[in-house]
């Protein structure tokens, strides 16, 4: 195969059978992934019908059709608004403050010149990322627990009253935000740090010779050159804004009903309706609502990235 024919290829019509036969080994390599994706993704599409039915385990996806009744039930309940709002608030908080922290950390790390110190501190900062949320919930209990948590110990030793964090929703947006930042900032900063390292060193040297202070170098060189990366990553995350982090929310909040008004997100709600009521139809309806809005968001954000930053489009 020379390069010449390779360049012409896309324009010619291909005979599918010939193509499959000629590259049988390549298609064979991709086959397991294709089958897997087919089963777990494409095969799930017919199940969407459940959302419009009164599900019965005997008849499966051919249960009695009820139209939009499940959706009506969901959107009339107060949960529709609550879980949509919670999901959006939590994700926007994580996205905005998380990005600011990650960029700030990357810039600060870039200013550290002692190699050993940089490596040691980066190792420490990355560590929480690898730990499961279940263990994080244990740590959180150790810190916030009412009976023997660290913070309550300090409060008591200073003569205060124990605070029952786990029954007071008002504390939880900050707590969730801190947890998220603690867990992901070290990881997210890596991408930004890589982008900063890619900036031409000559720019900094020139600025240094011209007498620019550290702050000025950051403000007028690093930040402007980092903006495309920030925009791309932010847009990509905006696409995911309708999906809650089940792994995090379920491990931390569990079945604590006093925190649900602020911490129940769409994903945990879908899970709970499915597990507790045993009615897949309602669950499926809520899930479909999430999938459709989520799809629109993901698609739009990817499209914008592709238009505005062709070099940054993921696929």
The footprint of other proteins on residues 53-92 (CB under 8 A) is none
Helices (H), 127-200: 133-144, 150-157, 172-197
From the number of C-beta atoms within 10 Å of its C-beta (0-12, 13-18, 19+), residue 270 rates as buried
Contact stretch for other proteins (CB under 8 A) within 73-81, 83-91, 169-177, 291-299: 291-299
Binding flag, residue 204, other proteins (CB under 8 A): no
Is 108 a binding residue for other proteins by CB under 8 A? The answer is: yes
Q: What tokens does 9 get?
A: 């290829």
Taking Cα atoms as reference points, which of 152, 125, 134 lies closest to residue 251? 134
Interface with other proteins, residue 153, by CB under 8 A: yes
Query: Could you tell me if 247 and 129 are in contact, meaning their C-beta atoms sit under 8 angstroms apart?
Result: no
Rounded CA gap, 128 and 180, in Å?
A: 10
Q: Does 201 bind other proteins (CB under 8 A)?
A: no
Calculate the dihedral angle through the C-alpha atoms of 36, 42, 43, 45, rounding to the nearest 10 degrees.
150
Bridge partners of residue 65, in order along the sequence: 53
Binding segment for other proteins (CB under 8 A), chosen from 73-81, 92-100, 168-176, 180-188, is 180-188
- Write down the least CB distance from residue 119 to other proteins, Å: 9
Comparison of 95 and 118: residue with beta carbon closer to other proteins: 118
β-pairing verdict for 60-65 and 53-56: antiparallel
Least Å distance, CB 298 to other proteins, is: 5
Q: Shortest gap between Cβ of 121 and other proteins (angstroms)?
A: 4
Q: Is 32 one of the binding residues for other proteins (CB under 8 A)?
A: yes
CB of residue 39 to other proteins, shortest distance in Å = 7
Interacting stretch for other proteins, rule CB under 8 A, among 69-77, 92-100, 167-175, 194-202?
194-202
The residue count of the chain comes to 315
Tell me: does residue 206 bind other proteins (CB under 8 A): no
Name the segment binding other proteins (CB under 8 A); options: 64-72, 91-99, 182-190, 257-265. Answer: 182-190
- 298, containing H or E segment: helix 280-308
**Tokens at 149, concatenated:** 């948590």
Tell me: does residue 23 bind other proteins (CB under 8 A): yes
């Amino acid at each position: 195969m020379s390069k010449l024919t390779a360049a012409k290829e896309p324009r010619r019509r291909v005979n599918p059978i010939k193509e499959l036969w000629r590259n049988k080994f390549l298609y064979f390599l991709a086959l397991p992934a294709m089958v897997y994706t087919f089963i777990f993704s494409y095969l799930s599409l017919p199940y969407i019908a459940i959302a419009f039915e009164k599900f019965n385990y005997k008849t499966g996806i051919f249960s009695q059709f009820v139209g939009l009744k499940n959706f009506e039930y969901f959107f009339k309940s107060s949960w529709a608004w609550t879980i949509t709002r919670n999901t959006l608030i939590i994700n926007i908080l994580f996205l905005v403050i998380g990005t600011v922290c990650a960029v700030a950390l990357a810039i600060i790390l870039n200013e550290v010149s002692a190699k050993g110190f940089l490596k040691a501190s980066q190792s420490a900062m990355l560590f929480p990322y690898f730990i499961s949320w279940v263990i994080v919930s244990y740590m959180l209990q150790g810190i916030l627990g009412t009976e023997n948590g660290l913070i309550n110990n300090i409060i008591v030793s200073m003569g205060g009253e124990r605070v029952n964090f786990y029954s007071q929703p008002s504390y939880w947006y900050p707590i969730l935000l801190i947890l998220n930042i603690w867990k992901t900032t070290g990881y997210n900063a890596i991408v930004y740090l890589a982008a900063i390292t890619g900036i031409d060193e000559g720019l900094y040297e020139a600025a240094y010779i011209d007498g620019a202070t550290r702050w000025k170098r950051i403000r007028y060189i690093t930040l402007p050159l980092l903006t495309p990366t920030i925009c791309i990553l932010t847009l990509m995350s905006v696409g995911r804004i309708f999906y809650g982090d089940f792994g995090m929310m379920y491990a931390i909040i569990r079945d604590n009903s006093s925190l649900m008004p602020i911490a129940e997100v769409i994903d945990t709600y879908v899970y709970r309706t499915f597990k507790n009521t045993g009615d897949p139809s309602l669950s499926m309806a809520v899930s479909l609502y999430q999938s459709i809005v989520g799809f629109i968001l993901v698609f739009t954000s990817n499209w914008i990235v592709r238009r505005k930053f062709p070099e940054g489009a993921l696929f």
